[in-house]
Structure 1
Amino acid sequence: MAEPTLYLIDRVVLRPGAAPAFIDAYRTGYVPSARARGLTLERILVSPPVWIDGETNTVTATWTVSGTTAWWAAAVRGRHDPAPAQWWESVASLIVERSRSMASRAEDVAGLCDV
C-alpha cells in the first residue's frame, strides 16, 4: 500500500514590494536545504497574482512528503540543523507574518490517525 502524501504549507505575508525578493531568496536559499531534508516543492503561489505598489502579497509554498516516516525524518533533520532558522531570520525584515500548517487528502486522515 502506498504511503499517503502529507502536505506542508508555508504561508508568508510580505511587506509591500518585498514579494519578488522573498521568492528569489526562498528558491535559492531555502528550497535546496528543504529538498536535502527530504521535502519536495509542489508549488509556490502568489496572492494577489499581481505586484501592486504599497500592497502586501501572500506567498504560499506547498511541500510534499510521502508518509509519516519521511515526514518525521525531515522534521528531525530540520530541528538539528540551524540553517533553516538562520535562513528565516535572514529574511525576517521582508515578512509581516508567517505560518506553517500540515494537511492530507481527506481519504488519508483515518489511516494517519491509526498510529
Structure 2
Amino acid sequence: MIRILDEIPLAADRIAPVLEALDRLYLPACEARGLALEQLWVSPPVAVPGQCNTLWLLWQVADVPAYYAMRSATGAEARAFWDQVEAACGSRRRHVLGSADQRLETPHVE
C-alpha cells in the first residue's frame, strides 16, 4: 500500500472552497485512477486570527505500479482542482509514503 499525504496551508476562509472543489472536481475521477481518499484533517482544528491552517489529505493506492499508473492517468479535472488549490494557498507539499519495512525497488517508468 502506498499512501500520499497532501499538505496544503490555507487561510481558514479558503478551506471550505477547496473542499467543495475536491468534491466537485477531483473525487469523481479518483476511483477510476485507483486513488482513494482515506482521511482528511485540518490543523489546528480552530481558526486562529492571523494564522494559516493546514489541510491534510491522506490518499492510498495499491502499490508502486498503481501509483505511477494513477499519475499518468491524471486528467483535466485533477489539473483544474490543483490549479484552484495553488491559487488559494500559493504552495503545497505532497509526501509519498510506503511502509519502512518494504523492499525498495527502482520503478520501471516508460
What's the TM-score once normalised by structure 2's chain length? Answer: 0.82
Paired residues for 1:7-18 under 5 Å: 7-18=3-14
- Identify which of 9, 25, 41 aligns with 1:45: 41
3-state SS of the aligned residue for 2:45? coil
Per-residue CA deviation, residues 50-92 of structure 1 (Å, 9 max, x unaligned), is 12344311011011111122112111101xx233112222343
Number of aligned positions between the proteins: 107
Gapped regions of structure 1 (runs ≥ 5): none
Alpha carbons 1:15, 1:96 under 8 Å: kept: no
2:78 and 2:106 map into 1 onto residues whose CA distance is 30
1:102 counterpart residue number: 96
3-state SS of the aligned residue for 2:34? coil
Structure 1 residue runs of 4 or more that deviate by more than 6 Å after TM superposition: none
Gapped regions of structure 2 (runs ≥ 5): none
CA 1:29–1:54: 2 relative to 1, 3 Å: farther
- The root-mean-square deviation of aligned C-alpha atoms, in Å, is 1.9
Paired residues for 1:76-91 under 5 Å: 76-78=72-74, 81-91=75-85
3-state SS of the aligned residue for 1:36? helix
Cα deviation, residue 114, structure 1? 6.2
What's the TM-score once normalised by structure 1's chain length? Answer: 0.79
3-state SS of the aligned residue for 1:28? helix
3-state SS of the aligned residue for 2:2? strand
3-state SS of the aligned residue for 1:31? helix
Alpha carbons 1:17, 1:53 under 8 Å: kept: no
1:113 counterpart residue number: 105
2:76 and 2:17 map into 1 onto residues whose CA distance is 22
